[in-house]
Structure 1
Amino acid sequence: MGRVNETLLKQLIELPAPSGSEWLFQQKWMSLVKPYADEVVVLDRALGNCAAVLNKGGLPKIMFSAHSDEVRMVVGSIAENGFIFLKNDEGIDLSLVPGREVWIINLKNELIRGVIGRWATHLEGIIFKQEDSDARKIHEYWIDIGVKNGIEIRQRGIEEGCPVIFSSGYHKLNAGFYYGRNLDNRAGVYVLVEMLKTLYKTRDRLKAEVWIVSTVQEESSDTMPVKIAAEVIKPDVGIIIDTEEACDYPAFDDLDRDYYGNVKLEEGPVLRRGLSINPTVSDLLKKIAKKFNIPHRIGAVARSEGAVTEASYLAIAGLGIPVGEVLIPIRYMHSPYQLGAFDDLYQTKKLLTCFTRALNSKTILGYK
């Protein structure tokens, strides 16, 4: 297993960045990458995509992108009796909501701790019809912050629209595993920061102009702000770094595992092929992985499986960009406790570093 910077990983995971409210995280991200870049910039004032560039003026110009945001709920309404009701506009499984500790990010960007209420089990058939007991709606859950009325809630800087996230932070397990609430996609953000640091230390070997981008609102936007970032940078090639659900746990039977590509932890990144992915880019990624003995899998992209990701929007930015996509396996995506393997972080960073060093002014990616 390769070395992982746990201090940085913990820092990135524990910083909150609910989708649509990423700015505090972005400011910290810029301070982390600034020592290893020629320049750090805010790419757009409207949404807050941020980027760092190394070896400015090199060829080709490559853009690596990982979204900074995490899934969230929001304060939907504040009741006069001192409870907060929720709205959910993203991919959080509502069966995971009751009984959880959460953070509400108030108007001053302070973290207000609360718990999501859960009636006692023996009252289930009394409060709700028994046949409906496993099918709660989001508006049937509430946050309790321990106050007497709605006025006290508002005095704490909470109002409708404030984001709500699970409170779980970074935890290390034995045997090379770790977990936290937002490995999707802090794992990808971590890999790009570590890649930039490695490239900076050996920049004399670098021919390409390298951009790493921390994008926003991937979890909630229908427009994918990565497209805006790309239209500012105008790269020759783009690589999206994100996460992929592993299928190496008991919920999957053998047929399911085969169908979903048998993705496992500690077997390296998934290199996607198919929709929006340029084959010259995916072929070079695969070639580099084989050359440097980096474990990996090939993953198919199909629109029928909801495969419209940041890669789909990056590919159509400007006049079109040849795009590749590299995914880090994790378990339990969009849950309060997403689990990953240190070695997959290391192998993904190694792949992207070797890929970048292989690029020069004669590299042709895309259709010619």
Structure 2
Amino acid sequence: NYISDDGLIYVIRNGGSDHQIAPSKIVNIHTKKGIVKGVFGWPAIHTRLKGKEEPPKPDNICIDIGAKDKAEVEKMGVYVGCVITYPDEFHILNKDKFVCRALDNRMGGFMIAEVARLLYENKKQLPFGLYVTNSVQEEIGLRGAEMITHTIQPNVAIVTDVTHDTTTPMIDPKKQGYVEIGKGPVIAYAPAVQQKLRDLITETAEENKIPFQRAALSRATGTDTDAFAYSNGGVASALISLPLRYMHTTVEMVHRDDVENVIKMIYETLLKIKEGETFSYFK
């Protein structure tokens, strides 16, 4: 967003990136010349005023790429508008916890791809057309989902995203509801969720002994479900969420069992949808 005369780079948020995790992180700056490495610097503990410490904010964090001034930054190929990412890699903790940056919502893309793979490998012939889509720009206004639903004009939409595990510190389950990784996918109850479609999903899960949890959302779901549900005069939509810890950090964590059960839940639900089903309340 801004390069200072002394070569420090100030940034603005892209999507839902959390500025509070930035200090001391290594970053990749994507330029036409390739990746340029940098670090989010932060004043040493010895130099900060006790009792008056400022938290990291977008206007006080900056990236140092080792340049002496603005001209050297630009000579390295870094300009205003370059996208910056964290290079953190994928890890497995205690055999069944997946940890990585941007599991929200790369894991969603993986799960729906696995559903498509299972349908193909098991030679399932569905009595309806199926689109498996991975949308962009959900974090800045559900823009990809809006484009998808206007292009495809679906009759039904089953959406998957992540939701908060509320068992970690500083989260109040009385406000956020109780959700725990490893206890199963989370079925949303919300204005955008169509009841008959949701009931089909929960009944299918019970029949197939797929564990699941429930979450109540009083207004928007904050996911692509909202874009689908209210498009084209209304689309029967449902939301199946993957429990996740530490959302929008570089150590997002999910449970292997939950990933597998989201895949099973969507797969088995698709096999239950009959030809011509509209999920109308008036049938």
Tell me if TM exceeds 0.5.
yes
Q: Deviations over 1:313-361 (max 9, x none)?
A: 1112222211101100010000111011111110000000001111221
Match of 1:235 in 2: 154
Tell me: CA distance 1:296–1:137, structure 2 relative to 1, closer, same or farther (3 Å): same
Identity %: 26
Does structure 1 residue 331 correspond to structure 2 residue 255? no
189, 211, 215: which one aligns with 1:295? 211
TM-score normalised to structure 1 length: 0.72
2:254 aligns to what SS in structure 1? strand
- The one-letter code sitting in structure 2 at the alignment partner of 1:134 is E
Q: Distance in 2 between matches of 1:188 and 1:230?
A: 18
TM-score of the aligned structures, taking structure 2 as reference length: 0.93
- Aligned twin of 2:132: 212
Question: Is 2:40 aligned against 1:124?
Answer: no
For the aligned residues, what is the CA RMSD? 1.8
The equivalent of 2:35 in structure 1 is 111
Q: What is aligned with 1:248?
A: 167
Question: After superposition, what is the alpha-carbon deviation per residue over 1:225-271, rounded to whole angstroms, capped at 9, x for unaligned?
Answer: 3111111111110011100010122334xxx2244331011111101
Segments of structure 2 that go 5 or more residues without pairing to the other structure are: none
Query: Aligned residue for 1:93?
Result: 18
> Aligned equivalents of 1:132 and 1:138: distance in 2?
18
1:18-45 deviation per Cα after TM superposition (whole angstroms, max 9, x unaligned):
xxxxxxxxxxxxxxxxxxxxxxxxxxxx
User: Does the aligned pair in 1 maintain the 2:164–2:247 contact within 8 Å?
Assistant: yes
Query: Which residue of 1 is the match for residue 268 of structure 2?
Result: 354
More deviation, 88-97/152-161: 88-97
Quickly say closer, same or farther: Cα 1:115–1:358, change in 2 above 3 A.
Answer: same
SS in 2 for 1:111: strand
Q: Following the alignment from structure 1 to structure 2, what is the Cα–Cα distance between the partners of residues 167 and 194?
A: 25
Quote the Cα distance in structure 2 between the aligned partners of 1:132 and 1:284: 55
> Deviation per CA, 1:256-299, whole angstroms, max 9, x where unpaired?
22443310111111011122111111111111111100000121
Give the Cα separation in 2 of the matches to 1:177 and 1:98: 25
The alignment status of 1:161 with 2:81, answered yes or no, reads yes
TM superposition shift of 1:155: 2.6
Write out per-residue CA displacement over residues 114-168 of structure 1, whole angstroms, 9 at most, x where no aligned residue: 110111111012xxxx444133431211111122222232233321122222221
* Secondary structure of 2:131 counterpart: strand
1:175 deviates by: 3.2
SS in 1 for 2:116: helix
Deviation string 1:213-236 (CA, Å, 9 cap, x unpaired) is 111111123x63311111111111
Deviant stretches of 4+, over 3 Å = 89-93
**1:175-214 correspondence to structure 2 within 5 Å:** 175-214=95-134
Alignment of 1:226 onto 2:145: yes
The question of whether the paired residues in 2 share the 8 Å contact of 1:228 and 1:317 is answered with no
Quick one: which of 1, 6, 9 aligns to 1:84?
9
Which deviates the most, 78-87 or 231-240?
Answer: 78-87
CA distance in 2, matches of 1:360, 1:112: 52
Please say if residues 208 and 356 of structure 1, whose CA atoms lie closer than 8 Å, have aligned partners that are also in contact. no
Cα distance in 2 for residues equivalent to 1:292 and 1:285 = 11
Whether the 8 Å contact between 1:107 and 1:162 is mirrored in structure 2 is no
Whether contact under 8 Å (2:29, 2:84) holds in the other structure is yes
The structure 2 residue matched to 1:138, chosen from 34, 37, 58, is 58
Q: Which residue of 1 aligns with 2:226?
A: 312
Alignment CA distance shift 1:204-1:225 (3 Å): closer
Secondary structure in 2 matching 1:298: strand
- 2-side partners of 1:276 and 1:267: how far apart? 24
Whole-angstrom CA distance in 2 between matches of 1:349 and 1:143: 39
Structure 1 distance, partners of 2:114, 2:204, is 19
The answer to whether the Cα contact below 8 Å between 2:205 and 2:211 also exists between their aligned partners in 1 is: yes
Question: Does the CA-based 8 Å contact 2:155-2:236 persist in structure 1?
Answer: yes
The 3-state SS of whatever aligns with 1:146 is: coil
- Map of 1:269 onto structure 2: 185
**Partner deviation per Cα, 1:188-237 (whole Å, 9 max, x = no partner):** 1110111111111123443232111111111123x633111111111110
Structure 1 gaps, min length 5: 1-75
Tell me the residue number matched to 1:345: 259
- In the TM superposition, residue 113 of structure 1 has moved relative to its aligned partner by 1.8
